[in-house]
Amino acid sequence: MTEETEQAVPDEERDEDDAYSLQRKDVAAILYAVDIGDREKLVALMEPLHAADIADLLEQINAFDRMRLIKLYGKEFDGDILSELDESIREEVINALHPEVLAEAVRELESDDVVDLLEDLDEAQQEAILEVLDNSDRVAVEKSLTYPEFSAGRLMQREVVMAPEHWNVGEAIDYLRNTEDLPEQFYHIVLVDPKLRPVGNVTLGRLMASRREVLLRSLISETFHVIPVTRDEGEVAYAFNQYHLISAPVVDENERLVGVITIDDAMAVLDEEHEEDILRLAGVGEESRLSDTVLETTKQRFPWLAVNLLTAVLASLVIAQFETAIAQVVALAVLMPIVASMGGNAGTQALTVAVRALATKDLTGSNVWRVIRREVMVGLVNGLVFALVMGLVGLFWFGSAQLGGVIAAAMVINLVVAGLAGIVIPVVLERLKVDPALASGAFVTTVTDVVGFFAFLGLAVLVLL
Which residues inside 162-201 make contact with a second copy, applying CB under 8 A? Answer: 173, 176-177, 179, 182-183, 185-187
Q: Which of 85, 18, 23 is nearest to 49 (CA)?
A: 23
Residues 446-465 close enough to bind a second copy by CB under 8 A? 449, 453
220's torsion region: left (phi>0), alpha (psi -120 to 50) or beta?
Answer: beta
**Least CB distance from residue 351 to a second copy, whole Å?**
8
Question: Is residue 421 close enough to count as binding a second copy by CB under 8 A?
Answer: no
- DSSP 8-class letter at 168: B
Single-letter code of the amino acid located at 95: N
Can you tell me the distance from the alpha carbon of 278 to that of 441, in angstroms, rounded to the nearest whole number? Answer: 12
**Least CB distance from residue 202 to a second copy, whole Å?**
12
Q: Which is nearer to a second copy, 132 or 458 (CB)?
A: 458
**Least CB distance from residue 142 to a second copy, whole Å?**
25
132 within 8 A of 106, measured Cβ to Cβ: yes
Residues 295-354 close enough to bind a second copy by CB under 8 A? 295, 297-298, 301-302, 304-306, 308-309, 311-313, 315-316, 319-320, 323, 326-327, 330-338, 340-342, 345-346, 348-349, 351-353
Contact with a second copy (CB under 8 A) among 36, 124, 290, 462:
290
Question: Is residue 223 close enough to count as binding a second copy by CB under 8 A?
Answer: yes
Q: Which is nearer to a second copy, 138 or 256 (CB)?
A: 256
Question: Is residue 239 close enough to count as binding a second copy by CB under 8 A?
Answer: yes
Question: Is residue 274 close enough to count as binding a second copy by CB under 8 A?
Answer: yes
Contact with a second copy (CB under 8 A) among 13, 24, 123, 432:
24
Site string for a second copy, 347-386 (x = CB under 8 A): -xx-xxx--xx--xxxxxxxx--xx--x--xx--xx--xx
* Burial bucket for residue 209 (CB in 10 Å: 0-12, 13-18, 19+): exposed
Contact with a second copy (CB under 8 A) among 2, 135, 146, 254:
2
- DSSP 8-class letter at 215: B
Can you tell me the distance from the alpha carbon of 220 to that of 392, in angstroms, rounded to the nearest whole number? Answer: 68
Question: Is residue 266 close enough to count as binding a second copy by CB under 8 A?
Answer: yes
Question: Is residue 269 close enough to count as binding a second copy by CB under 8 A?
Answer: no
Which residues are within 8 A (CB) of 421 and not within 5 positions of it... i.e. 6 or more apart? 347, 350, 351, 443, 444, 447, 448
Q: Which of 61, 56, 68 is nearest to 5 (CA)?
A: 56
344 within 8 A of 419, measured Cβ to Cβ: no
